Amino acid sequence: MNRCSIIVHSVNGNSYIIATYLQELLVQKNVDARLYRVEDNDLHILANQSDTVNDFYEDIQALPIANDKTLQKSQMVILGCPTTFGNVSAEMKTFMDSTFPLSEDQSLAGKYFACFTSCAHSTCEGAFCLDTLIHYAQSMGMIHIPFGVHMDLISANQPVSGIVHLAGKENAIRPSQQLGDVLALYADILAKYLVTGN
C-alpha cells in the first residue's frame, strides 16, 4: 500500500479538520494515509488566549512531527496550513526551508503532491498560498495533482490548484458540508494516483 503523508500546520483547528477528513477519506479508499504536524512553539500561548485555538490544541499536539524521512517514505505528500498575508504560515515556511537539502539530492522527485489552506478573507488570497506550496513541490521535483475544474461543484468557488476553506475574520467558521463534498471529490482524484497509478 502506497503511503500518503498529510502534513499540517493548524492554529485555529480548521486546517486540522480538513487534514483529518482527507485522511479518513483516503483510508476508506485503501490508501495508507498518515497525519503529521509541523512544529509550532507558540501554539500553547494562543490556546490560552482563544477558545477557537484551544478546541483542537491537544489533538494537534498529539500528532507526530514531520521531518525529511516523512517526506522520503511517502509516495504522496499533502501540505496544508493557514494563509497569512496571501502566503503560507511562518511555521510551514520554516518546515519547507528545513527540507532544502532534499531539493539538491532530488530524493522527492516523482512523488505526488497536493495542498489545501484555511483562509480568513478570500479564495484569491488562499490561492496565493497554494501557489507557494506548489512552487515548493515543483522545486522538489514532485508532481502536483490539481483539484481541477468541476462544473457540478462550481458554486463551491474552489481554485483549480487545490482546496481553500474560508474561515472568516475570527477564523471561527468551521469547514462545511459543501467543503466536505469538495474534499471527497479531491480524495477520489488523489487516491486514483496511489491505488492505480493514474
Domain ranges (residues) in the chain: 3-195
Cβ proximity of 196 and 174 under 8 Å: no
Q: For residue 169, what pLDDT is reported?
A: 82
In the predicted structure, residue 156 carries a pLDDT above the cut 80: no
Q: For residue 144, what pLDDT is reported?
A: 98
Global confidence as pTM: 0.94
| For range 54-82, the mean pLDDT | 95
Contacts of 42 (CB under 8 A, 6+ apart): none
Q: For residue 198, what pLDDT is reported?
A: 59
In the predicted structure, residue 1 carries a pLDDT above the cut 70: no
CATH 1.10.10.60 fits 3-195, yes or no: no
Q: Which residue has the higher pLDDT, 20 or 45?
A: 20
User: What secondary structure letter does DSSP report for 83?
Assistant: E
End-to-end CA separation in angstroms for the chain: 15
Say what the alpha-carbon torsion angle 64, 3, 112, 142 is, to the nearest 10 degrees.
60
Q: For residue 34, what pLDDT is reported?
A: 98
Q: For residue 45, what pLDDT is reported?
A: 73
Q: How far is the CA of 10 from the CAs of 61, 73, 92, 118, 152, in angstroms?
A: 10, 23, 10, 9, 29
| For range 28-56, the mean pLDDT | 86
Q: Which residue has the higher pLDDT, 75 or 176?
A: 75
In the predicted structure, residue 154 carries a pLDDT above the cut 80: no
Q: For residue 125, what pLDDT is reported?
A: 92
Q: Which residue has the higher pLDDT, 121 or 8?
A: 8
pLDDT band at 197 (very low <50, low <70, confident <90, very high): low
